[in-house]
Amino acid sequence: MAPRGPAAPLRAAKLLPPLLLLLLLPPCGRCPAARGCPPACICTSDLLSCSRRALRAVPLALPPGATSLDLSHNALAQLRDRWLAALPRLEALHAGHNHIQELSPHAFHNASRLRYLDLSSNHLRAVETHYFDALLSLEELLLYNNRIKRVDENAFARLSGLRKVYLSWNNLTTFPFRSVQGLGNYSLRTLDLSSNSLSSIPVQELAALPENIRNGLYLHNNPIRCSCQLYVMLQRWKRRGFSSVKDFFEEHTCKVSDDVPRSLIKFLKYNDMFENCSVESEEAPPVPFPVLVGQPLLLTCNTSLPPAATYMWISPHHEPIKHPGNSNRSVELYRNGSLRIAAAKPWHSGVYVGLAMNSPHNASRLCEVNVTVHYPKPDGETFSTGLTTLLGCIVSLLLVLIYLYLTPCRCLSCCKKPAPLSPPQECSAQSSILSTTPPATDAPNRKVSANKHVVFLEPVSETQNGKIRLALGEDFPDVKHPKVLQLKSDSESISSVFSDTPIVS
């Protein structure tokens, strides 16, 4: 009989099936990894989901390691002060489809790392200044499908990293466009104000906004009063390919009469009423400013400067230049708003935007200057490419003519070039050509047989007009053994005349 001892239960546990062991383990809610997870929520390593749980208040115990919290589709009416202190790593908060009407002054304190905030489909009536001023890292803000009638001018003043704001499907009648002027110089790319109750648009303020905001400024489906200024502005945006007009071209409406509430027309699609509105005068492009490398550069705005306290420039790399200077004095901003660059470099090229700062977070555009930094042309470059090419062609042609017609003719014995099939030509480039036909200077009516003997004069003592004259055998009756070449008749093959084999005399 086996002895019983402390090791017996362990041996018995090894014999239990694995499923039975799982049943004997403590519940997962008591595990150390799941401590702090609310009973109505689902927790993972860094995600916390409490969606669709009919919650009327945010659970008190929250796991501190969560980076994403989902409270959507509940019955939350408010968010208590500093409730996010328990989630120091939170980056995304989903609180849409609740009953939140307003936010307490400190609802989002202790959430400096929050980048994504969804408060859509709630009952918010306004966007106050204190709502989001503590969210310094916020990038996306979803406020669509609420009951918002008013947005404070400084509601987004401290959100320098804000990229996207969605305010569609609310009850906005006006919007402080000037408040987002500075945001566009940093990161703002989307501002959705579509499907509201905007009755008028400050066209001049919208034209002063940076291009990146105008590209993402959605104004369609609003009862804006029809005007030529509005029509011309949107047509210009369409020509420049702005997504805000191109993607929703047919949804842009305007109200023909204020007395008739439903007198809305799709004025960009049916533009017969605006035929007299001129859209030929495009917005003035940035002023060109060419400068050589190494030269000093001074940028000024030719417009009348407003009585502003300070000025600022935005570099082509979207960097603010608002200090009087730097350590090496390479870039200096004067008190009158002028910007001086001590020595221009190629990376200084681009569009500079001059701003007047009326307040720390409120700026108005003064001008844009397009700087082009280039290297000087070499001094020796006096001919254009076309003239140089023409001169090269003329010189080449002269060289060919010299080669063909001005090469001196030498003795025929040194030239072994074959004779052509055509009639004899004048001595030109290489050698004289033997032919059965005598020169034209001899008797014109003289007949020569096919077997006529031709003699070389050694040396040629007689020339005619600078040309070598061939003497016939009959012209030298006293010569006993002249050097005679027997030319083949026409019936024989003429190829031997052109061969390199020496001719037997």
- Hunting for tokens 């060919």 — which residue is that? 400
Q: What pLDDT is recorded for position 467?
A: 46
Q: Which of 214, 247, 274 is the last residue of a domain?
A: 274
Residue 386 has pLDDT above 70, yes or no: no
Burial of 43 (0-12, 13-18, 19+ CB in 10 A): buried
Q: Is residue 475 part of a domain?
A: yes
Rounded Cα–Cα distance for residues 203 and 164 (Å): 22
Q: What is the pLDDT of residue 124?
A: 97
Question: 196 and 49, same structural domain?
Answer: yes
Strand partners, 290: 372
- What angle is formed at CA 480 by the lines to CA 478 and CA 482, rounded to 5 degrees? 100
In a domain, 407, yes or no: yes
- Could you tell me the end-to-end alpha-carbon distance of the chain, in angstroms, rounded to an integer? 138
Q: Confirm whether 224 is domain-assigned.
A: yes
For residue 323, tell me if it sits in a domain.
Answer: yes
Q: How many domains does the chain have?
A: 3
- Whether residue 246 sits in one domain with residue 142: yes
Contact criterion met (CB below 8 Å) for 182 and 312: no
Residues 433 and 365 placed together within one structural domain of the fold: no
For strand 116-118 and strand 92-94, is the pairing parallel, antiparallel, or unpaired?
parallel
SS3 339: strand
Supply the CATH number for residue 138's domain.
3.80.10.10
Q: With residue 47 as reference, give the H or E element that holds it.
A: strand 47-49
3-state secondary structure at position 224: strand
Task: Write out the residue range of the structural domain in which residue 418 sits.
Answer: 398-498
Q: State which of 329, 359, 374 marks the end of a domain.
A: 374
Whether residues 61 and 196 fall in one domain: yes
- Written as one string, the DSSP assignment of 320-383 is EE-SS--TT-SEEE-TTS-EEESS--GGG-EEEEEEEEEETTEEEEEEEEEEEEEPPPPTT--S
Residues 58 and 203 in one domain: yes
Nearest to 252 by CA among 233, 279, 280, 276: 233
Return d(Cα 223, Cα 265) in angstroms, integer.
9
pLDDT at 219: 95
Tokens, residue 354: 């001059």
Q: Are 167 and 142 in contact (CB under 8 A)?
A: no
Q: Give the span between the Cα atoms of 219 and 221, in whole angstroms.
A: 7
CA nearest to 419, candidates 477, 358, 485, 328: 485
Same domain, 162 and 247: yes
Sequence-ordered strand ranges (E) for 167-240:
190-192, 217-218, 224-225
Average pLDDT, whole number, for the chain?
74
Element (H, E) at 236: helix 228-239
Residues 341 and 435 in one domain: no
Residue 17 in domain: no
Task: Point out the domain boundary residue: 250, 274, 298.
Answer: 274
Q: Which of 15-29, 213-227, 331-345, 453-467 has the lowest mean pLDDT?
A: 15-29
Name residues whose C-beta falls within 8 Å of residue 235's C-beta, 6 or more positions apart in sequence: 268, 279
pLDDT of residue 498: 43
Is 132 contained in some domain? yes
Altogether, the residues listed in the chain come to a count of: 505
Note whether 343 and 405 are same-domain residues. Answer: no
Q: Phi-psi region for residue 378, left (φ > 0), alpha (ψ -120 to 50) or beta?
A: beta
Q: Is residue 264 part of a domain?
A: yes
Mean pLDDT of the region 41-62: 91
CATH number, residue 313: 2.60.40.10
pLDDT tens per residue, range 105-162: 889 988 889 999 999 999 999 999 999 989 999 999 999 999 999 999 889 988 888 9
Tell me, yes or no, whether 467 and 345 share the same domain: no
* Coil, strand or helix at 472: strand
Same domain for 164 and 204, yes or no, is yes
Same structural domain, 268 and 301: no
In a domain, 221, yes or no: yes
- Residues 317, 362, single domain; the answer is yes
